[in-house]
Structure 1
């Protein structure tokens, strides 16, 4: 049995979802209970945080006992010992971040959406294929029970011809006492990455 290190570049995990979900529930859990592979080897994550705010990165790194952090994405991508890139930065930054990671030879996992339009998504997919790189997008909301039920009802014609939809997503990012509980306004603006439908679906 050997210990295998996995260098993981984490971009954009400084927001509430990134800290609570990606770091708190996933990365921290895997670091405290390393994954045993089928051959008996143990996989240990060695993350590096990447973001725009050095003070925030330092605070988060200290909280989760992460030794490495940087505001320089290019420096992180140039480290050959880090083979996987995870991006949950703002939607409007995603295409460029993922493109740079793929060009640097990194396997990629990113939050939804992969890109703001079909052409960009296709370009990233082709770039990954040319580099023989693994890639994936987390599309968690598509598989929520309510979303699956809604899809089944639409497919069955239950609503007839759908002309207009108003939907509300019940995921609270903030507690509601200091700021409104729902998603911040930038999630709803097309100029900030495609709007709420692209961001949430």
Structure 2
């Protein structure tokens, strides 16, 4: 609808997303709602498609390493939700595998582009706060609760037993936001 993604040289790239997941019924409904013709529950088939150059992984962290490794082995560039893995060793193994395979790779840091954080960055850069000696962080909802706006995510993000939890799901956002600011 927007004519593709603008590149730095002014060219535009049209993307052809392929949704991959576990539930055919859910995928079919999402695909229909957004006019996406391609979806599958077969990750191997999606990775075997020569027309697919990039694999984006947004599943639970506990399932990420195996799927991303399969994508790297298939020669796909990878872009993953944070954190890359549950352990540092696994994250390093993925980074090494991507480097050895010659594929580009990256990790989502989307909160850096929230309007409030962009403004805060400008204020810091402009010296508005003077010399910052300490920072106090308080948990705030980036995920809508569902009472005044539909929930953004299911609650698994906050349950460690389901592959989420504050440390694995939210702390990585706070860490990269603080590091960037």
Give the TM-score normalised by the residue count of structure 2.
Answer: 0.73
Deviations 1:1-32 (A, max 9, x none): xxxxxxxxxxxxxxxxxxxxxxxxxxxxxx53
1:134-168 Cα shifts (integer Å, max 9, x gaps): 0000123467639979xx9xx72467xxxxx8x42
The number of equivalent residue pairs is 160
Alpha-carbon displacement from aligned partner over 1:46-105 (angstroms, at most 9, x marks no partner): 111101111111111111111110001111011122110011111211111111111111
* Deviation (angstroms), 1:40: 6.1
Equivalent in the alignment of 2:176: none
**1:171 counterpart (142, 147, 152):** 142
Q: Distance in 2 between matches of 1:47 and 1:192?
A: 27
1:94-129, Cα deviation, whole Å (9 max, x unpaired): 111111111111000111111111000000000000
Structure with the bigger percentage of strand:
1
Q: Which has the higher contact order (CA 8 A, sep 6+)?
A: 1
Alignment of 1:46 with 2:23, yes or no, is no
* Structure 2 contact 31–37 (Cα < 8 Å) conserved: yes
On the 8 A contact 1:113/1:199 being kept in 2, the answer is yes
In 1, Cα distance between the equivalents of 2:34 and 2:24? Answer: 15
Check 1:147–1:53 CA distance in 2 against 1; reply closer, same or farther (3 A cut): farther
In 2, the alpha carbon distance for the partners of 1:173 and 1:111 equals 19
Aligned residue for 1:68? 38
Q: What is the correspondence of 1:12-91 to structure 2 with a 5 Å cutoff?
A: 31-37=1-7, 41-91=11-61
Compared with structure 1, are the counterparts of its residues 158 and 128 closer, same or farther at alpha carbon in structure 2 (3 Å cutoff)? Answer: closer
Decide whether the 8 Å contact of 2:61 with 2:85 is kept in 1: yes
SS in 2 for 1:191: helix
2-structure distance, mates of 1:127, 1:139: 21
Please give the alpha-carbon distance, in whole angstroms, between the structure 2 residues aligned to 1:56 and 1:194.
21
Structure 2 CA distance for aligned equivalents of residues 62 and 71 of structure 1: 15
Query: Is 1:107 the counterpart of 2:77 in the alignment?
Result: yes
1:191 corresponds in structure 2 to 161
